Chain A
Amino acid sequence: MTTANDALHAPSHDHAHEEHHVSFVQRWFYATNHKDIGTLYLWFAFSMFITGGIMALCIRAELFQPGLQFWQPDFFNQLTTLHGVIMVFGAIMPAFTGLANWMLPLMIGAPDMAFARMNNWSFWLLPPAAALLMISFFVPGGAAAGGWTLYPPLSIQAGMGMDLAIFAIHLLGLSSIMGSINIVTTVLNIRAPGMTMLKMPLFGWTMLITAYLLIAVAPVLAGAVTMLLTDRHFDTHFFKAVGGGDPVLFQHIFWFFGHPEVYIMALPAFGIVSQIIPTFARKPLFGYVSMVYATCSIAILSFMVWGHHMFAVGMPASTQLFFMFLTMLIAVPTGVKVFNWIATMWQGSMTFETPMLFSIGFVCLFTVGGFSGLILAIAPVDTQMQDTYYVVAHFHYVLVAGALFSLFGATYYWLPKWTGYMYHEGRGQFHFWWSMIWFNVTFFPMHFLGLAGMPRRIPDYNMQFTDFNAMATVGAFCFGLGQIFFLFNVIHTIRGGVGKAPASPWEGANTLEWEVASPAPHHTWETPPSLEIVEKGLKAQGLLGDHHE
């Protein structure tokens, strides 16, 4: 395209196709465009999802029947550890950051993220971190095998795979902090005129609060693993009892990071679902303001409940009661959110395209995960459940049916905006139902395994656990297979899908990203959206007029 043509297009937002002027290397390796970086994040996250998923299948294969068939126990522990680390830090978190990069500027009417070059940096820290984790399988002693929680003194015993994991965590933490600073600055400073904080799409709110959580806790994790590193090599004895250290101190520090981390992986999902459900119910989100308050209360409470991961370490009754009561309290704002989503659907005019199916699936299964979370919050009952498969079932309901399903929903929801083409609806729905069924076949039986007393992180088990384990393994392999189908769906859409997508393919969508063309041009909102456009959308979202601020 010539400069003359560009000049002709000047009044519109369409400064597309600048990529024609830059080489592949310049566009992708030196990327400063929020959409390109978003794309990089999403592909990285997907490749890590597949990597972590293959590890999960290796774990499930070993657990198909009693006895050791495939792996030595030590390698089994490496698999469980790296599966956890990779899924949390490599798949779920980067996927949300990628979505934020792609969609936040579009949704709040900003031309790009606030710090475009730092954005490039924060992405390019991820691949080396992933490489370190993968290399660690091949060093003497193998990869870290102490569980994703890296509890000392076990993690102090480990070989150099643990050092590589610690360095990888440093890099991943650095990347998250930079990504978060970018999100906070963007959301606070470059919203469209007329879009006050309480008129911002809920996805913006949840990403903002998530970013604050990350800025608060990523350094805590970095500190904990650095202390671990010095304990390993410089005899600092922070956590070594032989030198006067306290192994439980690590657990306190780790879970002070670890519990907010759980919400770092859940809040963005709440945001996505709060965009999708109103769209397909053709109704404004019910209780926007209480959604914002609920999100904030969950975030604040998440800092005060870490002790519920440690009910078995032997804390006094008073401390157990403190953590138990506060943990139970989280059910209140979480309940408010679920009630709001249901009230949004109530008296709507619902259709059930794939993003909506994933969102309803999210609400159903996340609620199940919430219920099992409530059971686990009750300290005496937790005595039976701690470190059993019940916990594994619980957090997979929250993280797979929660975070992952919301990511699938988001992908189908915004694919037309990303690619300019519509995905194949039937295939999308097939992907949903397939995932939904096999997810439950995989993880529901784990509740029973946990109740019956099967510890987690064991490579072999007594015969009484055989049937449910076999069932879970069959479910896991089918679930995994379905995700290849997802990849196929996405590639099919990129290559043209079932036809061109209009700027706004969804009847009930009212946020700003649907005002720009599909695919979203390389540069958008170079001039901020006019007050008129912004207010039209806000009105349709019920955020103007009778809305209480």
Chain B
Amino acid sequence: MRRLALALMLPAIAKAGEMNFPPAQSAIAHEITNLHTLLMWVILVIFLLVFGVMFYAILKHRKSLGHAAKPFHENTTVEILWTVIPALILIAMAWPAARVVIAQKDTRDSEITIKATGYQWFWGYKYLDHGVDFKSRLTTNRNQIEEYKGKGSPKGEHYLLEVDEPLVVPVGKKIRILTTSNDVIHSWAMPAFGVKQDAIPGFIRDTWFKAENTGTFRGQCSELCGKDHGFMPVVVKVVTDKEFQDWVGKKQAEAKAASDDPNKKWTKDELIARGRSVYEGNCFACHKADGKGSGPYPSLVGSKIVLGPIADHLGMVLKGKNAMPAWSALSDTEIAAVVTYERNSFGNTVGDALFPADVKAARK
């Protein structure tokens, strides 16, 4: 009821910032905003003129006022005028728009290139010039989202627009974003920078931005990409050049420390422990914490694939099937770990283990 009352008195409470584009943070975004404002003025003038005439007729040329119809039905002059004048207005509008299109498409001379890969359902970023590589996932707790029984926990300010690792870029540098995808089409969108670029499997597209201010900016995947389409935000943290260098240094050191040594000899128990975190990071959303799945997502408990030959299980993870995406983007160790974990958890007791070398061999 409160929501209903709120909805009806809405115009008074809506904040101005929610009725237009988010504040522009790049030259292109400024140009787009100005273009939109110009268009709105043109439209407003046309609207008032045309509807002024129509409502004058509606008010004055009524039968109830005794107005008699004048049966004219052709006038070549006005018909030519109202074809030519709109065409001229359109040309006047097309000119500035074309300039912005050309600027927006010019990705040359970028200073930093970052590849953004869409996954179901998170983003992977790779700094091609710095060797930094990470995944960026939604951090909003599922309890806040799922309210089916009316008991969701309170939502924060950045509900659904918060991630564990944002994209970090320096202010004032031309950043080129290459987009591609691992599974279906996603779209990398950042309204504050005037950027929206589809990420298409098998293809690489590019776009660019140059942020004018430091701060954190938020967008969302903008192409329907399956069940968690609403849950893959894009978050960009713009920092000073110095902070960016520090951050890159830290990430590079972290990556070195955290990488699974390819020569390490794993035991089954180590794989299961590592597999649990891989599972929680990747498989959890569909198959759930208890492995029982939900809706169209099958249960792993007693599943034919999980209990069957280990090669088939591995094949399913690598290649996917129907709603199950291919997980080939995970490392050999991660895949080995998660397969071993699934075969020995949730009540499954197959007892065997998969090793990174097996995954490496299977990829060929």
- Chain A residues with CB under 8 Å of chain B are 64-70, 72-75, 77, 140-142, 145-147, 151-154, 157-159, 241-242, 245-248, 281-290, 312-314, 316-317, 320-321, 324-325, 328-329, 331-332, 335-336, 338-339, 342-351, 360, 363-364, 367, 371, 374-375, 378-381, 383-384, 386-388, 445, 448, 451-453, 455, 457-465, 467-468, 470-471, 473-474, 542, 546-548
Contacts and interface: CB of A to CB of B under 8 A. Distances in A.
Interface string B269-297: 00000000000000000000000001110
Contacts of B28: 380
Dominant SS among interface residues on chain B:
mixed
A64 B147 CA distance: 13
A151 B224 CA distance: 9
Contacts of B61: 281, 345-350
Contacts of B51: 364, 367
11 contacts: A290-B79, A312-B197, A335-B83, A363-B54, A384-B191, A452-B18, A452-B21, A455-B229, A457-B230, A460-B231, A464-B18
Contact of A67 (B147, B187, B203): B147
Contacts of B102: 317
Nearest to B102: A317
Contacts of A286: 72-74
A159 B298 CA distance: 13
Nearest to A338: B50
Contacts of B6: 467, 470
Interface residues of B, number: 110
A159 B93 contact: no
Nearest to A325: B94
B361 interface: no
B108 interface: no
A381 B198 contact: no
Interface string B7-20: 11010011001111
Contacts of A284: 71, 73
B200 A329 contact: no
A378 B191 contact: no
B32 interface: yes
Interface string B246-283: 00000000000000000000000000000000000000
Interface string B50-71: 1101100110011110011111
Nearest to B157: A463
Interface in B109-165: 144-148, 150, 152, 155, 157-161
B146 A380 contact: no
Contacts of B58: 345, 350, 360
Contact of B230 (A248, A281, A460, A546): A460
A287 B159 contact: no
Interface in B84-106: 86-87, 90, 93-94, 97-98, 100-102, 104-105
Contacts of B53: 342, 346
B227 A371 contact: no
B60 to A, nearest CB: 9
B223 interface: yes
B219 A453 contact: yes
B142 to A, nearest CB: 10
Interface stretch (B35-43, B337-345, B350-358): B35-43
Contact of A474 (B7, B39, B201): B7
Contact of B69 (A246, A347, A470): A347
A153 B185 contact: yes
Given A154-B225, A159-B296, 18 more contacts: A67-B146, A68-B147, A77-B224, A141-B323, A147-B224, A241-B202, A282-B69, A283-B72, A324-B94, A329-B87, A335-B83, A339-B82, A349-B61, A381-B36, A448-B19, A458-B229, A458-B230, A546-B74
B101 A347 contact: no
B86 A335 contact: yes
Most buried by B among A364, A381, A383, A547: A383
Interface string B180-211: 00011101010100111110111101110000
Of the listed residues B35, B196, B325, the one surrounded by the most CB atoms of chain A closer than 10 A to its CB is: B196
Contact of A462 (B62, B160, B196): B160
B101 A313 contact: no
A380 B18 contact: no
A378 B93 contact: yes
Interface in B221-238: 221-231
Contact of A281 (B21, B69, B87, B194): B69
Contacts of A245: 202
B285 to A, nearest CB: 10
B74 A349 contact: no
A11 B285 CA distance: 75
Contacts of A448: 14, 18-19
A347 B14 contact: no
A287 B74 contact: yes
A332 B83 contact: yes
B200 A317 contact: no
Ranked 5 nearest A-B pairs via Cβ: A241-B202, A458-B230, A314-B205, A470-B7, A317-B105
B147 A69 contact: yes
Contacts of A321: 98, 101
Contacts of A386: 187, 196, 222
A461 B160 contact: yes
A383 to B, nearest CB: 5
Contacts of B221: 455
B144 A67 contact: yes
Contacts of A360: 54, 58
B3 interface: yes
A448 to B, nearest CB: 5
A349 B68 contact: yes
Given A73-B230, A351-B62, A453-B219, A467 B54 contact: no
Given A68-B146, A142-B296, A467 B222 contact: no
B202 to A, nearest CB: 2
B69 A349 contact: yes
B90 A331 contact: yes
A487 to B, nearest CB: 26
Nearest to B191: A453
Contact of B82 (A75, A247, A336): A336
Contact of A378 (B35, B72, B161): B35
A474 B157 CA distance: 24
Nearest to B183: A153
Given A77-B227, A380-B100, A474-B7, A387 B203 contact: no
A383 B69 contact: no
Given A247-B185, A380-B35, A157 B14 contact: no
B229 to A, nearest CB: 6
B326 to A, nearest CB: 9
Given A66-B155, A158-B322, A342 B224 contact: no
Contacts of A320: 101, 105
Contacts of A140: 296
A73 B70 CA distance: 58
